[in-house]
Amino acid sequence: MAFVATTDSNFQIILKKGFKVPPGSTFVCGFHGLGEVGFLSTAHLTRTLEAERVGYIKSDMLPLFVSMENEKLVLPFELYYYKPKKMVFLVPRFQPHQSEQWGFIDKLASWIAENGFEETLLLGGLDASFKEDDEEMRSVPTSAYMPKLEQWGVPLLEEGLFVAGPLALFLAELEMRDQAAIGLLTYATRGRPDPRSAATMLEKINEVYGVEANVEQLLEESREIERLEKMRKSIESSDRPGDMFV
């Protein structure tokens, strides 16, 4: 399979030869933030929708790791395409290196604007300790996305709370470029992966986009993590010495 680079800079988006982003496409990405919700959601979408791998991202600080998945070599930053809904997914198996996050996101935001994406979905987690009602999600739209916000039925992030990390930088870069983008944040458990929160994200995306991403695997992973967490707490509790009285 032949690929061609789209730029000669140190940051390169390398696309499959012959692939061009169709006008009106949707860009979807999530990073390894709180609960790893963004990455889990994006990676699971590409698998369950059987999206086609169409490119890679290369940079000066590319992580020095590769792995195998479904008998195929996978790289740190890969692009996939789901043709029925014209969705392009960036699957970042690692966070962009901290020293190059600004340049990484800046070049990626420029590429999105140059290729005429209709909208961008940025997926992430929100600390569940901030949850004060029955809503499972919060949204952070750019100004250009506001006319589309109603379709999600998701409240805005409360004033005084902040989005952090690459997702925050991505939203800022797209706001400055007048691009339609929305950050979708599901409440997640801090300190461990939260597949249940990712499943909540996918159920909402299924509803809005009319796709059928199966979430049962994520729910099964969540049940196993919760079982192991209960076991760990039980062991820690049994190991505590009893109260001592003199």
pLDDT at 124: 95
Residue 153 domain flag: yes
The whole domain housing 185 covers 9-238
Residue 174 domain flag: yes
pLDDT at 218: 80
Residue 4 domain flag: no
pLDDT at 8: 46
Residue type, 186: T
* CATH number of the domain bearing residue 157: 3.40.50.10900
Separation between Cα atoms, residue 89 and residue 45, nearest integer Å: 9
- Neighbouring residues of 111: CB distance < 8 A, sequence distance ≥ 6: 6, 13
Pairing between strand 67-69 and 72-74?
A: antiparallel
Residue 2 domain flag: no
Number of structural domains in the chain? 1
pLDDT at 237: 62
Q: Nearest 5°: CA angle at 218, between 215 and 220?
A: 110
* Helix orientation angle between 101-114 and 166-176, rounded to the nearest 10 degrees: 40
Residue 205 domain flag: yes
Residue 3 domain flag: no
Question: E strand or H helix at 102, and its extent?
Answer: helix 101-114
Segment-wise mean pLDDT, segments of 10 residues, the chain, 246 residues = 60 94 96 90 91 94 87 92 97 88 93 97 93 92 97 93 92 97 95 88 94 84 66 59 42
Percentages helix, strand, coil for the chain (3-state, rounded to 5) are: 40, 25, 35
- Report the chain's terminal Cα–Cα distance, integer Å: 76
Give CA separation, 132 vs 93, 157, 162, 167, 246, in Å: 32, 12, 16, 23, 44
Separation between Cα atoms, residue 74 and residue 72, nearest integer Å: 6
pLDDT at 75: 92
Residue 148 domain flag: yes
Residue 185 domain flag: yes
Separation between Cα atoms, residue 188 and residue 77, nearest integer Å: 24
